[in-house]
Homo-oligomer: A and B are copies of this chain.
Amino acid sequence: MAPGGLKRPTTDEMAKPARRNDVEGKRARRRRQVIDAAATVFAEKGYHGASTRDIAERLQMQQGSLYYYFPSKDAALEEVCRAGVADFVEGLERIVAGPAPAGDKIRAAVANHLEPFGDRPDYVRTFLFDRHALPRGARREVGALSRRYEALLERLFAEGVAAGAFRPDLDARVAMLAFIGTCNMAAMRGRSGEALPLHRMIAGFADLILAGAAVR
């Protein structure tokens, strides 16, 4: 179910000689630390509320040294947002394409949506709250992904209705919004001790979306 996370430019990892791989690995690892720090700070204070100094301090590094790893704060946000949105669509596509009954698909979709909140919450939260701060081009690309995700989800509900698995009067668009809103709630509860365990959210949210609160 699309665990993934972000394994940056690992491509042809084995093609390179060991030594080179090691060096590359070191550099990549450091780079990852830097982007991680950016994600954390962005998630904590918001993109505009976070300064490059904040990021540097967290790395015990000089402010300007960051620019060795990314060309601008904007670019860092872009990288974080892309990683934050990654896998959502792919995972959902696999689920939608699968053979399972509609109800199971919804359950799988909830799990697919919530897992990244456990894996890399700072990336996802930054994507959710600060994607509007992205520079034009990236905003558009990332926005397209979002819309694709929503369309898939809406289709999932619509197909459930068509298959007779969901109520015939179900408003697929509304259901899609409720699904996303519900799942993204996990983003607001981040980092605090008050957070519910993820598995409880996954099960609970799926039950609610499928069966609702009322007795039958």
Enumerate chain A interface residues (CB-CB to B < 8 A): 45-49, 103, 106, 129-130, 132-133, 157, 160, 164-168, 170-171, 173-175, 177-178, 180-185, 188-189, 196, 200-201, 204-205, 208-216
> Are the CB atoms of B204 and A171 closer together than 8 Å?
yes
- Secondary structure at the A interface, as helix, strand, loop or mixed, is helix
By a CB distance below 8 angstroms, the chain B residues around A48 are 45-49
- Count of chain copies: 4
By a CB distance below 8 angstroms, the chain B residues around A171 are 200, 204
Contact of A106 among B165, B211, B213 (CB under 8 A): B213
Chain B proximity of A78: nearest CB distance (Å) = 16
Chain B proximity of A95: nearest CB distance (Å) = 15
> Are the CB atoms of B166 and A178 closer together than 8 Å?
no
Least CB separation from A130: chain B residue: B46
Contact of A208 among B103, B175, B185 (CB under 8 A): B175
Contact of A213 among B132, B167, B181, B204 (CB under 8 A): B167
> Are the CB atoms of A174 and B160 closer together than 8 Å?
no
Given contacts A103-B214, A214-B103, A215-B165, contact A177 B185 (CB under 8 A): yes
Chain B proximity of A81: nearest CB distance (Å) = 15
Contact of A166 among B47, B132, B196, B214 (CB under 8 A): B214
> Are the CB atoms of A174 and B157 closer together than 8 Å?
no
> Are the CB atoms of B185 and A173 closer together than 8 Å?
no
